[in-house]
C-alpha cells in the first residue's frame, strides 16, 4: 500500500438546472448540465492504524465543517471498506478547501469523490472509475460527475450522466456570499414558490457548447432554483445584476446557491468582472476559474 496519496478534485457549475416533480421518495426529477471548473480542493490521504478514520480541513470554511461520520468524506472511505472488505484499513484525511462551503458548487460531493479515488489508490484496490460509480451515486447526486469531470448532462436525480460534446474553454468569475444556503432549504423554497418544470435541456445551450460559442452559452444559462435562492438571500439579485452590468455574457446562481457564476469572454475579461464584483459589500470574495477540466485526479 502507498503511504500517502494526494488527489485534486474540481468544483462544478450547473449551466442548466431544470427541476421537475418528485418521485415516490420525495426526490425531484432533474435535468442538468454540469461543467467541472478549475476551482478545486486537494485531498491528502495517509495510511493510519486499522480502524482509524480521521479528517481535518484547512482553508475555505474549514472551521464550519464536521469531521465525524456525518461528513461525506469519512462516509466515502468507510463505504469502500465495507463494500470491498479492506483488511486493516485506516486513513487520515486532510482536505485543503477552496470550493465554497454550502455555495452550490458541490464542495462536499467533490471531497467524497476525491476520497474514493484517494483511498482506492492508498489501499491498492485497483478499481476503475466505472466500478467507483455506484458508490459515488450512493453518496450523493453530484459525486459521480465529480469523479468524471468535463461537461455532462445529468438526469433523474442527477446521477445518470451522458457526456456533452464541448469545444473551447470557458472562463468564469464566481462571487461568493457571506453566508451559505443548504440545498434542502432551497428545494423547500422552490416547492413553496414554484411549480415543477419540464426537465429538458435548452437546445441552444448544447449547440453553443458544441460550437465553442461562449456568447450563445451565456445567453442560454438557466437555473430553476434561482428564484428560491434569491427569495432566501435577496441580495443575490443585486449581485447578478452587477455582473451583467459589468459585461458578463451570462449570470446564474450556481446550483442551489448562493454562489453566483458569471461567464466571461476571456481570461482577461474574467479579471475585469472579478474587479467589478469585488466592490459590492454583499460579495465576500471572488474566485476565477476555467472549464471544463478533468474530475478527481491523483497527483504525482
Closest CA to 42 of 145, 120, 114: 114
Selecting among 12, 41, 133, 224, the annotated active-site residue is 12
Residue 291 CA to residue 185 CA, distance in Å, equals 28
Residue 6 CA to residue 98 CA, distance in Å, equals 15
- So what's the pLDDT on residue 294? 98
- So what's the pLDDT on residue 2? 53
- So what's the pLDDT on residue 133? 95
User: Is 110 strand, coil or helix?
Assistant: helix
- Residue 214 has, within 13 A of its CA and on its CB side, a CA count of 21
Residue 56 CA to residue 46 CA, distance in Å, equals 12
CB 279 within 8 A of CB 248: no
Eight-class DSSP state of 202: P
- So what's the pLDDT on residue 299? 96
Instruction: Decide if 142 is catalytic.
Output: yes
CB 91 within 8 A of CB 46: yes
CB 180 within 8 A of CB 284: no
Alpha helix ranges (H) inside 172-266: 183-193, 203-211, 214-220, 226-232, 235-245
Eight-class DSSP state of 100: P
pLDDT tens per residue, the chain (300 residues)? Answer: 459 999 999 999 999 999 998 887 878 899 999 999 999 999 999 999 999 999 999 998 888 899 999 999 999 999 999 999 998 999 999 999 999 998 999 999 999 999 999 999 999 999 999 999 999 999 998 999 999 999 999 998 878 999 999 999 999 999 999 999 999 999 999 999 998 888 999 999 999 999 999 999 999 999 999 999 999 999 999 999 999 999 999 999 999 999 999 999 999 999 999 999 999 999 999 999 999 999 999 999
- So what's the pLDDT on residue 118? 98
Closest CA to 189 of 180, 179, 181, 197: 181
Selecting among 41, 111, 133, 142, the annotated active-site residue is 142
Closest CA to 9 of 91, 84, 72, 86: 72
45, burial (CB in 10 Å: exposed 0-12, middle 13-18, buried 19+): buried
Closest CA to 169 of 38, 39, 296, 42: 38
Instruction: Decide if 78 is catalytic.
Output: no
- So what's the pLDDT on residue 60? 87
CB 177 within 8 A of CB 103: yes
Amino acid at each position: 500500500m502507498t503511504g500517502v496519496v494526494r488527489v485534486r478534485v474540481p468544483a462544478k457549475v450547473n449551466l442548466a438546472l431544470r427541476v421537475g416533480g418528485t418521485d415516490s421518495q420525495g426526490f425531484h426529477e432533474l435535468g442538468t448540465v454540469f461543467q467541472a471548473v478549475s476551482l478545486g480542493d486537494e485531498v491528502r490521504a495517509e495510511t493510519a492504524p486499522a480502524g482509524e478514520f480521521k479528517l481535518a480541513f484547512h482553508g475555505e470554511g474549514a472551521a464550519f465543517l464536521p469531521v465525524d461520520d456525518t461528513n461525506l468524506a469519512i462516509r466515502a472511505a468507510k463505504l469502500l471498506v465495507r463494500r470491498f472488505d479492506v483488511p486493516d484499513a485506516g486513513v487520515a484525511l486532510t482536505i485543503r478547501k477552496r470550493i465554497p462551503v454550502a455555495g452550490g458548487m458541490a464542495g462536499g460531493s467533490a471531497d467524497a469523490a476525491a476520497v474514493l479515488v484517494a483511498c482506492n489508490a492508498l489501499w491498492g484496490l485497483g478499481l476503475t472509475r466505472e466500478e467507483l460509480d455506484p458508490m459515488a451515486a450512493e453518496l450523493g447526486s453530484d459525486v459521480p460527475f465529480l469523479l468524471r469531470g468535463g461537461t455532462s448532462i445529468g438526469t433523474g436525480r442527477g446521477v445518470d450522466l451522458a457526456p456533452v460534446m464541448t469545444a473551447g474553454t470557458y472562463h468564469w468569475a464566481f462571487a461568493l456570499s457571506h453566508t451559505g444556503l443548504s440545498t434542502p432549504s432551497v428545494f423547500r423554497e422552490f416547492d413553496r414558490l414554484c411549480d415543477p418544470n419540464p426537465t429538458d435541456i435548452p437546445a441552444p445551450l448544447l449547440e453553443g457548447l458544441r460550437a465553442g460559442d461562449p456568447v450563445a452559452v451565456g445567453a442560454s444559462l438557466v437555473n430553476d432554483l434561482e428564484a428560491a435562492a434569491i427569495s432566501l438571500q435577496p441580495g443575490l439579485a443585486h449581485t447578478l445584476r452587477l455582473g451583467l452590468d459589468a459585461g458578463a455574457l451570462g449570470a446564474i446562481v450556481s446550483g442551489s446557491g448562493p454562489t453566483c457564476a458569471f461567464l466571461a469572454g476571456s481570461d482577461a475579461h474574467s479579471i475585469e468582472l472579478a474587479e467589478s464584483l469585488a466592490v459590492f459589500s454583499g460579495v465576500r470574495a471572488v474566485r476565477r476559474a476555467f472549464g471544463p477540466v478533468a474530475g478527481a485526479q491523483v497527483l504525482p
